[in-house]
């Protein structure tokens, strides 16, 4: 594995020792970034179930300002630290060992707002949509935030739920990638306008 593009292009990345982690291949990684936009002008990313940290590191290399990496496995946390150091991006990253549900609660307390989220839970978990709704309810997402959901290709997530809409889904063998956009501002603006009109009467 390596960083595909950006400021850290070509830097090698370690895999997590053992077989419990399934790293996103360079081919799939490149496809993801071609779909969501190859480069960024700032913003904050969350790499949940980070594994090697490859996706968040790629986002940092391509212009994201800061990234938060979360994984429950000690070996993953050690690998993420090594990979950030190899890519010379450690100063723009925060790394936490925690499970996803507790991590989201902790991020809410710190008032994080993410522009980009990588969500790659173990294939045995089918709760990607539930985690996304939880993020929205905790106000962790900027309006028009993009969520990249990676999952087993034999499983299907809904195209729309809550304030999320699927922009595109692609499949690579046993891996599927769905790109979701979170959009709530227009609905909220409409409700606020109605309330203001009622107040004026």
Could you tell me the CATH number of the domain that includes residue 140?
Answer: 3.40.50.150
Domain-embedded: residue 123 = yes
Domain-embedded: residue 126 = yes
> Between these two residues, 198 and 15, which has the higher pLDDT value?
15
pTM for the model stands at: 0.89
- Tally of structural domains, the chain: 1
pLDDT digits (tens, 9 = 90+) for 127-167: 999 999 999 999 999 999 999 999 999 999 999 999 999 99
Domain-embedded: residue 10 = no
Whether 24 has a pLDDT exceeding 50, the answer reads yes
DSSP assignment of the chain, as one string? -B--SSTTTT-B-PPPSSSS--PPPHHHHHHHHHHH-S--SS-EEEEET-TT-HHHHHHHHTT-SEEEEEES-HHHHHHHHHHHHHHT-GGGEEEEE--HHHHHHHHHHTT--EEEEEE---TT---HHHHHHHHHHTT-EEEEEEEEEEEETT----SEETTEEEEEEEEETTEEEEEEEE--HHHHHHHHHHHHHHHH-
Q: Domain residues for 196?
A: 26-68+101-200
Domain-embedded: residue 94 = no
Domain-embedded: residue 87 = no
pLDDT for the residue 122: 86
């Amino acid at each position: 594995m390596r960083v595909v593009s950006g400021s850290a292009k070509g830097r090698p990345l370690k895999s997590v020792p053992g077989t419990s982690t399934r790293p996103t291949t360079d081919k799939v990684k490149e496809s993801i970034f071609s779909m969501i936009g190859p480069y960024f002008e700032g913003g904050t990313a969350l790499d949940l179930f980070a594994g090697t940290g490859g996706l968040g590191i790629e986002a940092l290399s391509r212009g994201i300002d800061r990234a938060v990496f979360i994984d429950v496995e000690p070996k993953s946390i050690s690998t993420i630290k090594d990979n950030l150091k190899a890519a010379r991006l450690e100063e723009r990253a925060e790394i936490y060992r925690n499970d996803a549900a507790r991590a989201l609660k902790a991020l809410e307390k710190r008032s994080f707002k993410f522009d980009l989220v990588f969500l790659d839970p173990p294939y045995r978990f089918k709760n990607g949509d539930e985690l996304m709704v939880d993020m929205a309810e905790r106000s962790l997402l900027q309006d028009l935030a993009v969520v990249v959901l990676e999952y087993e290709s034999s499983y299907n997530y809904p195209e729309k739920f809550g304030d999320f809409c699927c922009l595109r889904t692609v499949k690579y063998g046993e891996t599927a990638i769905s790109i979701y956009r979170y959009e709530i501002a227009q609905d909220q603006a409409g409700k606020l306008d109605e309330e203001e009109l009622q107040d004026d009467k």
